[in-house]
């Protein structure tokens, strides 16, 4: 029995093209592959190539025994073979080698035909012709490899020139930056020297101010001592009779004068009354609210002047209580620093109490609350605003002369009752 195998026309064509090309016929392509690998190994970074080609990178002419191994290494690396096909030219590789590298459709059949056309005719000079052909091929291969290496070296040289130009530009830029930084450093050094000179002058001025402040504090301590002596003398005279009351008044006047400061440096520092914003009149409720709410201002309240005006129908002790409650109401709402002064510490029911929001005090025996208010204004630091609440014109005149602001008792009551 005979078995029939049906083969298509395409399969028959592929089978016909299947014969393996001899290694010798691919020598130019294989030497081209070794040349590309050798040139690529010299680059930085090196070009990737099959590891099997490394033993042959120094060969300019491959021996017959190396052709099969080089061919196997190249055919095993498809990407390297593809790159070879892209750069190969007929100046570097013969026709059969180009067909093997590029591998276009039907390349096997074309390669077989090319081999047949290149077969040498028989004759007496055949051996000499073959030797000449080999010499020519070797020369062409050497020239092709030299051209390839020259091209790669030129590319590398251009890359190195570009890198050198970039490095030189970076160095010039760095030099300019260093010069700028040096200029900034010199400017900073000059500024530091100026600041050091200014700091030294400021230190000297601070020392002078401290000395002046110490003198003022000493004067103030003397004034307070004089004031306390005057008040004590006045209380003693008042207890014994009115015979020397004029002397006590003279002593109190002297204490108040000392509080204003006997030294030239103290006289230069006078309390300045608080200024009112534009559009607010001096005796209006708006003016009173602005003064009573002023930050850091000390509010001194003429206690009985306010209490008797606001609650005349109440007993004296009750008048004091509701007056203090009204002051606490303002302190709670606006955070004001309020000090209420009443006459006579010896009056029944007179006590400062333990209230948190306002300070309450009573004048010593024989001393009026008016004098205590004047002394408090004089004793407070001139840099701190002072507001006095009273309708007593004698007090108004004295405290205004000392730089304090005045709020009428009527205005105080109106604001406290809101």
Residue 76 pLDDT:
94
Residue 121 pLDDT:
58
Q: Is residue 83 part of a domain?
A: yes
Kindly state whether residues 142 and 25 are assigned to the same domain: yes
Kindly state whether residues 407 and 290 are assigned to the same domain: yes
Residue 274 pLDDT:
92
Kindly state whether residues 276 and 159 are assigned to the same domain: no
Dump pLDDT digits (tens) for 116-175.
Answer: 887 655 555 665 566 557 556 655 665 566 677 667 767 777 888 888 888 888 889 988
Residue 318 pLDDT:
95
Kindly state whether residues 279 and 404 are assigned to the same domain: yes
Q: What is the pLDDT along the chain (418 residues), one digit of tens a residue?
A: 333 333 334 434 444 444 788 999 899 999 999 999 999 888 888 888 999 999 998 888 899 999 999 999 999 999 999 999 999 998 889 999 999 999 999 999 998 988 888 765 555 566 556 655 755 665 566 556 667 766 776 777 788 888 888 888 888 998 888 888 898 888 998 888 888 877 777 777 777 767 777 776 776 676 666 655 554 554 444 344 333 444 444 445 545 555 554 444 445 578 999 999 988 887 899 999 999 999 889 999 999 999 999 999 999 999 999 999 999 999 999 999 999 999 986 665 555 555 568 999 999 988 999 999 999 999 999 999 999 999 999 999 999 999 999 999 999 999 999 8
| pTM for this model (two decimals) | 0.40
Q: Is residue 235 part of a domain?
A: no
Q: Is residue 9 part of a domain?
A: no
324 Cβ partners below 8 Å, 6+ apart? 340, 353, 355, 358, 360
CATH number of the domain within which 300 lies:
3.40.50
Domain region containing 134: 18-117+128-163
Q: Is residue 71 part of a domain?
A: yes
Residue 195 pLDDT:
85
Q: Look at strands 386-389 and 405-407 and give their pairing.
A: parallel
Q: What is the CA radius of gyration of the chain?
A: 58
Q: Is residue 308 part of a domain?
A: yes
Q: Is residue 1 part of a domain?
A: no
How far apart, in Å, are the Cα atoms of 9 and each of 13, 111, 298, 370? 6, 20, 118, 135
Residue 345 pLDDT:
66
Q: Is residue 309 part of a domain?
A: yes
C-beta separation of 378 from 398 below 8 A: no
Residue matched to tokens 């002596």:
229
Q: Is residue 304 part of a domain?
A: yes
Residue 311 pLDDT:
96
Kindly state whether residues 152 and 277 are assigned to the same domain: no
Number of domains the chain is built from: 2
């Amino acid at each position: 029995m005979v078995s029939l195998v049906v083969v298509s026309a395409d399969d028959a064509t592929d089978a016909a093209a299947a014969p393996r090309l001899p290694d010798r016929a691919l020598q130019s392509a294989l030497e081209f592959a070794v040349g590309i690998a050798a040139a690529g190994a010299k680059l930085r970074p090196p070009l990737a190539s099959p590891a099997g080609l490394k033993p042959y990178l120094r060969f300019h002419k491959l021996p017959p025994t190396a052709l099969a191994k080089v061919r196997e290494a190249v055919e095993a690396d498809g990407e390297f073979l593809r790159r070879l096909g892209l750069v190969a030219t007929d100046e570097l590789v013969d026709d059969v080698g180009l067909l093997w590298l590029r591998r276009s459709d039907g390349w096997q059949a074309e390669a077989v035909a090319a081999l047949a056309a290149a077969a040498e005719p028989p004759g007496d000079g055949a051996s000499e012709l073959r030797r000449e052909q080999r010499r020519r091929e070797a020369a062409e291969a050497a020239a092709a490899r030299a051209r390839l290496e020259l091209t790669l070296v030129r590319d590398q040289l251009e890359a190195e020139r570009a890198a050198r130009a970039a490095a030189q530009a970076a160095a010039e830029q760095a030099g300019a930056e260093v010069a700028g930084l040096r200029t900034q450093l010199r400017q900073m050094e000059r500024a530091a020297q100026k600041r050091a000179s200014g700091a030294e002058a400021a230190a000297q001025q601070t020392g002078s101010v401290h000395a002046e402040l110490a003198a003022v504090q000493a004067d103030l301590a003397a004034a307070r001592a004089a004031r306390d002596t005057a008040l004590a003398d006045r209380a003693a005279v008042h207890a014994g009779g009115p015979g020397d009351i004029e002397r006590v008044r003279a002593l109190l006047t002297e204490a108040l004068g000392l509080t204003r400061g006997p030294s030239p440096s103290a006289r230069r520092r006078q309390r300045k009354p608080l200024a009112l914003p534009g559009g607010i009149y001096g005796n209006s409720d708006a003016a009173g609210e602005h003064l009573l709410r002023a930050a850091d201002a000390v509010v001194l309240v003429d206690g009985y002047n306010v209490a008797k005006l606001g609650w005349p129908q109440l007993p004296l002790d009750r008048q004091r209580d509701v007056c203090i409650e009204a002051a606490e109401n303002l302190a709670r709402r606006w955070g004001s620093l309020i000090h209420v002064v009443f006459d006579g510490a010896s009056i029944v029911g007179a006590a400062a109490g333990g209230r948190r929001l306002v300070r309450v005090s009573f004048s010593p025996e024989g001393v009026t609350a008016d004098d205590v208010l004047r002394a408090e204004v004089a004793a407070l630091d001139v840099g701190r605003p002072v507001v006095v609440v009273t309708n007593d014109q004698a007090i108004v005149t004295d405290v205004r002369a000392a730089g304090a602001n005045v709020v009428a008792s009527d205005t105080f009551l109106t604001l406290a009752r809101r």
